[in-house]
Amino acid sequence: MGDKKGLLFDATLCIGCGACYEACKERNQLPRTAAHFLEDRLSDQTYTVVKRRGGRFVRQLCMHCEVPTCVSVCPVGALEKTATGPVIYHEARCIGCRYCMLACPFGIPKYEWRKILPRVRKCDLCADRLAAGRPTACAEVCPTGATRFGDRQALIEEARARIRAHPQKYVPRIYGLEEVGGTSVLLLSDVPFERLGYRTDLLSEPLPLLTWQVLQKIPNFVVVGSVLLGGIWWITNRRREVQLREHQQREVREPSASESADPSHEEP
Amino acid sequence: MTRWSFRRPSFWQLVFAVILGVGLYSTVVRFTGGLGASTALSDAFPWGLWVGFDVLCGVALAAGGFTLSAVVYIFNIERFRPIIRPTILTAFLGYVLVIVALLFDLGRPYRIWHPLVMWNPHSVMFEVAWCVMLYTTVLALEFSPMVFERLRLERPLRILHALTVPLVILGVILSTLHQSSLGSLYLIVPEKLHPLWYSPLLPVFFFISAIALGCAMTIFESFLSYRAFRKRLEIDLLADLGKVIVVTLAVYLVLKVQDLAGRGVLSRVVEPTYEGRMFLAEMLLGVIGPILLLSLRRIRTDHFGLFVSAVLVVLGFIMNRLNVSITGMEASSGVSYFPSWTELSVTLMIVALGFALFGAAAKYLPVFPERERLPAPTLVEPPAVAVLRRPWIGTTPLVLILGGLFFIGAMGSAYSGLQHRERALAAAPPTSEESEPEIADGLERFEVPPDVTFPQGEASPGPVTFRHASHLNWERPNCTICHHEPFRMLKAFGSVASPPARDLHDERHCGRCHDGRTSFSVKEECTACHRP
């Protein structure tokens, strides 16, 4: 499985120079959105930011989950997890329900609120560059190797090697190895991840399983439900017919004004 | 049909006109300015009132349709037939208005049909979309006999009549799926929705409460019709629905308590927090109050008592849906959401349209049974029991006291919740910049980008070699100062679109810092950069 790409971000190596931020802006032709890049936040015009958190610089970008929540919740398949790793967006399909934004455990997808015909915007792991055999723009410009591009498996090995080499330095954990079933973007740090602004209370299995457990029961439910309801109708209807007949027979014997329970619609 | 609209003072019509006018203005704002201009929604809070009220509540309030049609057509409990048509009408209008609301809320409303051809069966929203489409169709078919009867079209009536039972079965299945799926929507946000509402049983809670809500809406709208159109009130039937509400709510309550206890968050119900107080309000209003009121036969069989109880259920579950979609999501989003006036006025317009359409249908279509049925059986009690049960207080005051108690209790709880939110927001520490980040390890590995030589231009004293190393603040390197548009990054993008030499002096390029203040000026020391 050497074709699954990913990024490894090592917070201990980031010097907060903003090269990744600027390269991302350039590659996606996005306008300036902040006086200083450290003050910027993710938006429809900013797909990655560098933040000061917990005494470190840390990046924020789409994690490109292995089993992405956004892909699973999109009713029209406008988001897609590609074979090489990137989670990409098919603008022509999107109906604008914004369920991806609600559901993303990392709060990544952003919306073009100011536009009449808005789109969902986020990092696409430079899918076109990957297809051309090149690394992501952010990884290519990083001057310290804090953001490394490579095969996800190789990056995991590399991260393990770094932790082994400096056990007293690193938090002994690769963020993104198991979070919500694993992500293509992996993080290393020497301060606890929650201090970097990364949630450490996420489930380790993919979130789409939570809804799939319910959704997969639908076909069965429809079949069993229809048969059950049909059966109930059959029984109650038969009982009513019998009652009606008995009623009519009684009426023949002792005619009296009685309500006829006509199952059909009322006459106008 | 009476011409009630002419006899009544035009107060309500005036109100309707104002609501419609403001709503239409908001509609223009929405479709010319976009969602950003017309809503209080944001990246942190992408779903607001239009989803929380118009869609979630709209669907739930239409639940009477499938509940009663199951009772009448599948369980063959014929007594309820007189109230089935207004209920189906309500459901049909409810669904049509939900679709209208969706057209407002979707970013690309003209693509609302996409789920028909672009499938993703893993998405709850996909299920929701299909349920809305199919069930609205079923409701249209269930509603259409009223139109055909009016037009005296016998053939379609016969066809529809033959289809009734399969249609009803389909409708019940679709409704069950749809009501529950609106709860399932939130199954995927375990880390975002507050634990008082997040539960693996969300779909079950949404479904059960929809049944109670459907019955309550049937009672509510029967009373409105009774008042507005002088329709006969089937009080005995409605009292039976009241019983159904008690049983359904009791099941809901037991499940809810079990669920909260099972997840170990029962104690958070009484915690003095925003969420805790709002949850308590919702339960008092929609569950505990109505169970108590409707358990009392005197109240259940009393016009006013039944009406008040139904209103409590409706308000309580509107609050529940808003709590799931808004209150419970606020803390994790980090922002507090309150709908904009545009969102509110559109919602109000949609509700008003619902009332108006119902009124019009009631006026022109055979919605209510014209034929008088046998007099309803009066509630006869043995004299001895009647004496024993002689009320010590009139029913109306009793309803007022009990209903008022729960209503005020719930409102007080909600108010206290809002106070707690204010306090929490005020107490939240300002996000201060932390200590200067540690970058020693990174600097050790810092590969300074190579020098760049700009060729000598016309009348230039010499070529310029730009040295990254001498232009870096080694305490705190910042690439973004120069590397925005004019100076593209060579390494990542292959080629540098080298600007014409004379432009390099301007304030967008070298001249930006070499201005005589930050550093020596481009106008003075030429040979500092141009080395012949």
ipTM of model: 0.89
Residues 6+ apart with CB under 8 A from B267: none
B372 close contact with A: CB closer than 8 A: no
CA distance linking residue B217 with residue B202, whole number of Å: 22
B14 touches chain A (CB under 8 A): no
- pLDDT exceeds 90 at position A248: no
Q: Are B213 and B305 members of one domain?
A: yes
Q: Does residue B4 form part of some domain?
A: no
Confidence (pLDDT) at A1: 44
Of A28-42, A63-77, A91-105, least confident by mean pLDDT is A28-42
Which of A94, A211, A237 is facing B124, going by the closest CB pair?
Answer: A211
- Asked if B249 and B313 count as a contact pair (C-beta separation under 8 A), the reply is yes
How does pLDDT run across A145-182, given as a tens digit for each residue?
Answer: 999 999 999 999 999 999 999 999 999 999 999 999 99
Residue length of chain B: 532
What is the domain-level CATH number for residue B157? 1.20.1630.10
Mean of pLDDT values over B162-190: 94
Q: Compute the mean pLDDT over every residue in chain A, rounded to the nearest whole number.
A: 91
**3-state DSSP assignment of residue A6:** strand
Identify whether residues B255 and B191 lie together within a single domain.
yes
pLDDT above 90 as % of chain A:
83
A175 φ, ψ (degrees, to nearest 5): -75, 130
B126 touches chain A (CB under 8 A): yes
pLDDT digits (tens, 9 = 90+) for B105-155: 999 999 999 999 999 999 999 999 999 999 999 999 999 999 998 998 888
B133 and B70 share one domain = yes
**Is residue A25 within 8 Å of A203, Cβ to Cβ?**
no
B31 vs A: CB within 8 A: yes
Q: What backbone phi and psi angles, to 5 degrees, belong to B383?
A: -55, -40
User: Any residues with CB less than 8 A from the CB of A54 and at least 6 apart, and which?
Assistant: A191, A192, A195, A196, A197, B434
How far B420 CA sits from the closest chain A CA (Å)? 25
**Which pair of tokens denotes residue B1?**
């049909």
pLDDT of residue B374: 43
Quote the pTM value. 0.90
Where do we find the tokens 């009124």?
B359
B415 domain-assigned: yes
Closest chain B C-alpha to A85 CA, distance in angstroms: 20
How many angstroms separate the CA atoms of B357 and A266, rounded?
Answer: 22
Looking at the structure, tell me whether residues B276 and B356 fall in a common domain.
yes
Percentage of the residues of chain B whose pLDDT score is greater than 70: 89
Q: What is the mean pLDDT of residues A100-124?
A: 96
> What is the C-alpha to C-alpha distance for residues A63 and A43, in angstroms, rounded to an integer?
15
Residues B411 and B510 in one domain: no
What does the pLDDT look like over B458-512, one tens digit per residue?
777 888 888 888 888 888 888 888 887 667 665 556 655 555 556 778 877 888 8
Strand order in the sheet with A147-151: A147-151, A5-10, A185-188
CATH code of B518's domain: 3.90.10.10
* Closest of A248, A76, A48, A223 to residue A142, by C-alpha: A48
Q: Which position has the token pair 């989950």?
A: A65
Beta strands in B391-523 (DSSP E): 452-454, 464-466
The pLDDT value recorded for residue B305 is 92
pLDDT in tens, B275-327: 999 999 999 999 999 999 999 998 998 889 999 999 999 999 999 999 999 99
The reply to whether B403 and B272 lie within a common domain is: yes
Q: Which has more pLDDT, B42 or B8? A: B42
The CATH classification number of A5-206 equals 3.30.70.20
Number of domains in chain B: 2
Residues 6+ apart with CB under 8 A from B225: B86, B231, B362, B368
Which 8-state DSSP code applies to residue B254? H
Q: What is the pLDDT of residue B2?
A: 45
* Partners of residue B171 in chain A, C-beta under 8 Å: none
Q: Quick check: B78 and B374 in contact, CB under 8 A?
A: no
- Looking at the structure, do residues B347 and B489 belong to the same domain, yes or no? no
Residue B454 and residue B404 share a domain: no
β-pair type (A147-151, A5-10): antiparallel
Q: Do B172 and A225 touch (CB under 8 A)?
A: yes
The answer as to whether B103 is a domain residue is yes
| Higher local confidence (pLDDT), A232 or B425 | A232
User: How distant is the Cα of A233 from the closest Cα of chain B, in angstroms?
Assistant: 4
Range of the domain at B420: 12-367+398-427
Nearest to A268 among B126, B152, B189 (CB): B152
Q: How far is A144 from chain B (nearest CA, A)?
A: 5
